[in-house]
Structure 1
Amino acid sequence: MTDLTLDQQELEMATKWLDFTVEAFIRNIRQLRIKQTGALMASFRKQVVGAASGRLQLQLSYALYGKFVDMGVGRGMGQGIRKGDDGYDRMRNSRGQLKRRERKAKKWFSKALAYQTKRLAELMSELHGTLLISQVSDALPAQDVVVNF
């Protein structure tokens, strides 16, 4: 194991995980062709915050409309338009569906976040397990231990 303390190792791993996760999100956005203006890809902000209790907090933020794209909602009617208004009939059919565009969920976020969160938990538990094993092996006596039954 390196000379880094556990806190430094956790911080380094969390930073690398955030970088990898943002790269995976951007890869998903490109694959699903959610580019329109590129504002969603440019909106990612990531930060690792050390809490007072010694626990790490990770912050990942992005444009709000990215969530709506992931769910397949949010495009079509302006604020305040109700059924029966002129704006409603112009954009929607009698069943309430958009005439020119169909909403379709593009899962760039939810599946990737679930996988990446699970992977972060595995990496952190592996880090703590490796540290525990090294501490136990350091504490064992250098001589052979004989146990008679």
Structure 2
Amino acid sequence: MTIEEQERVMADKWLDITIGSFIENMRKLRIRHTGALMASFKKQVIGAANGRLQLQLSYALYGKFIDMGVGRGMGTGVRKGDDGYDRIRNNRGQLKRRQRKAKRWYGKEIAYQTKRLAELMSDLHGTLLISAVGESLPSETVEINL
């Protein structure tokens, strides 16, 4: 198996693990209104022409809003003074029924997983380098005098 194939397999497994971690974080934080966000994850491993590997991970946009704690409570086009505004918010602009609260399912996990991917790739390349050096050494005993 070539190094490109090994990188591709490792990247695909990493994407599976990362998506699993995201879904687990959502379950812990009880982010599952309809399950649409959990079902929206798509992954793709792309090999570029110059030999660089590219990973693509996509999910529904409103997942970012849940992570940041913004975006709930007003429909599009509702402005202060409209009937819909007064029904949902008080005179200071705060939500009547519940406050927005960030549910951090994304930030720390993607930072950890990205660092882990870098470690895995460097281990893969280090192992391949050591094996290439080991194969190129002569088969007889090598003596080094210091």
TM-score in same-fold range (> 0.5): yes
Residues 1:140 and 2:132 aligned together: no
- What do the CA deviations read for 1:26-73 (whole angstroms, capped 9, x no partner)? 111111111110101111111111111111111111111111101100
* Structure with greater contact order relative to length (CA < 8 Å, sep ≥ 6): 1
Q: 1:124 corresponds to which residue?
A: 121
What is the distance in 2 between the residues matched to 1:123 and 1:147?
32
Secondary structure of residue in 2 paired with 1:126: helix
Instruction: For 2:44, give the aligned amino acid.
Output: Q
TM-score when normalising by structure 1: 0.92
Give the 4+ runs in structure 1 shifted more than 6 A.
Answer: none
Residue segments in structure 2 that go unaligned for 5+ positions in a row: none
What is the distance in 1 between the residues matched to 2:79 and 2:87?
12
1:1-149 to 2 correspondence within 5 Å?
4-148=1-145
Instruction: For 1:55, give the aligned amino acid.
Output: R
What is the distance in 1 between the residues matched to 2:9 and 2:43?
14
What is the distance in 1 between the residues matched to 2:81 and 2:132?
71
What is the distance in 2 between the residues matched to 1:84 and 1:92?
10
Q: Rate the CA distance shift 1:135–1:103 in 2: closer, same or farther, 3 A.
A: same
What is the distance in 2 between the residues matched to 1:148 and 1:127?
31
- What do the CA deviations read for 1:97-145 (whole angstroms, capped 9, x no partner)? 1000211000111111111011001100110011111111111122222
Instruction: For 2:83, give the aligned amino acid.
Output: D
Identity %: 72
Q: Rate the CA distance shift 1:38–1:148 in 2: closer, same or farther, 3 A.
A: closer
What is the distance in 2 between the residues matched to 1:29 and 1:100?
22
Two-structure CA RMSD over aligned residues (Å)? 1.2
TM-score when normalising by structure 2: 0.94
Cα deviation, residue 75, structure 1: 0.5
What is the distance in 2 between the residues matched to 1:19 and 1:12?
11
Secondary structure of residue in 2 paired with 1:67: helix
What is the distance in 2 between the residues matched to 1:137 and 1:122?
22
